[in-house]
Chain A
């Protein structure tokens, strides 16, 4: 493994309320695709419990920027007690999921991912000199780009959850609400 640096450390997003898990999944994977990352799914767990579904997704999108630099984002989504409920949106009946979500985002930058400068201490020393002094401006720029991407994803997810704020969950659908589907 090359020189892996933790650039964005554990951004956390908590949300409790109505949302659609499938739409969330599509949102994340769609964002990853738009940004030119390759998707890798490392965990895909779904357990049905008495209180609802417990879901865990872990993705590790990665992107090769150059032959030397590699961006990795780790997205971990934990959903608890996810159940389907009735909701009214703009006077229309809709079936929507509700539950608790915790999302963790980490950003890693991997330098020398081909491990060309890994196998001798002297080469590692040279690599450190190169990264921290000679190539410093570019290394920092790559880190900034990764930070921007991860924060952008965080912001997108915040927007996604804000969208659901105008959903009102009802125990019984009122008579005036028409079915949306």
Chain B
């Protein structure tokens, strides 16, 4: 910490854009000048039967249709326990919306106590379903200046701080973040609920954005 102070850098990790300025000179904590606007994590827990293949394809198609690039970052399959295998899926979807900002949606799926079951559909065809527990987390964030163009010099970093704080603050919070939260993250959550045929499959907030 002392070394950081000697180097003239802040010791406050929350204020990333003020890394070249001594924190002590502020009488108050500087207003959060975001480099990243994070949406809150949406959780979903389900116990029952679902079609994992369908869910996977649906998610990939959803991101593809919203111009995201979809990455499977990690797939962990644990040795089956007494109640069934446990699997972790860590996915990430990225979209460079403009040069200055990008959307990132992190999806974490955790399935456990699962069993594969065959079901006969009404038309007589057989399908493979998964029975067990599902725990999903969806988190979206808007990353600003994702190429780090304004981090080369302290002057640029301050300029960026000023720009974020006074020029595009409303745009960041009111348009970019809203767009991600309401038209991507919450929509995705409700569509997953619809896919799983949960009781709360409703999307009342679909008119939140672009109307008011």
Interface size class of B (residues with CB under 8 A): 20 to 34
Known: A30-B204, A33-B204, A39-B186. A45 touches B199 (CB 8 A): no
B41 to chain A, nearest CB (A): 9
A61 to chain B, nearest CB (A): 10
B200 contacts A46, C-beta separation under 8 Å? yes
Q: Is A108's CB within 8 Å of the partner chain B?
A: no
Residues in B lying within 8 Å of A, measured CB to CB = 27-29, 31-32, 40, 42-48, 186, 189, 193, 196, 198-202, 204-205, 207-208, 212
Bound CA–CA A42/B200 (angstroms): 13
Bound CA–CA A43/B46 (angstroms): 11
Among the listed B29, B189, B196, which residue makes an inter-chain contact with A115, where contact means beta carbons less than 8 Å apart?
B29
B199 contacts A40, C-beta separation under 8 Å? no
Residue of B nearest to A34 (CB): B204
Known: A44-B45, A47-B47, A116-B31. A33 touches B207 (CB 8 A): yes
Bound CA–CA A42/B45 (angstroms): 11
Bound CA–CA A38/B200 (angstroms): 17
Residue of A nearest to B44 (CB): A44
Bound CA–CA A97/B198 (angstroms): 13
B186 contacts A46, C-beta separation under 8 Å? no
A22 contacts B45, C-beta separation under 8 Å? no
Known: A22-B202, A39-B186. A46 touches B45 (CB 8 A): yes
B205 contacts A39, C-beta separation under 8 Å? yes
Which residues from chain A contact B205 at a C-beta distance below 8 Å?
A: 29, 32-33, 39
Residue of B nearest to A55 (CB): B199
Chain A residues bordering chain B, tally (CB within 8 A): 34
User: DSSP majority for the A interface?
Assistant: mixed
Which residues from chain A contact B45 at a C-beta distance below 8 Å?
A: 43-47
Residues in A lying within 8 Å of B, measured CB to CB = 21-22, 25-26, 29-30, 32-33, 36, 38-48, 53, 55, 57, 79, 82, 97, 114-120, 123
Which residues from chain A contact B29 at a C-beta distance below 8 Å?
A: 115, 118-119
B206 to chain A, nearest CB (A): 9
A82 contacts B199, C-beta separation under 8 Å? yes
Which residues from chain B contact A38 at a C-beta distance below 8 Å?
A: 208
11 A/B residue pairs, CB under 8 Å, sorted by A: A21-B200, A22-B199, A29-B202, A29-B204, A39-B186, A46-B45, A47-B45, A48-B48, A97-B199, A114-B32, A120-B27
Which residues from chain B contact A29 at a C-beta distance below 8 Å?
A: 202, 204-205
Which residues from chain A contact B204 at a C-beta distance below 8 Å?
A: 26, 29-30, 32-33, 39
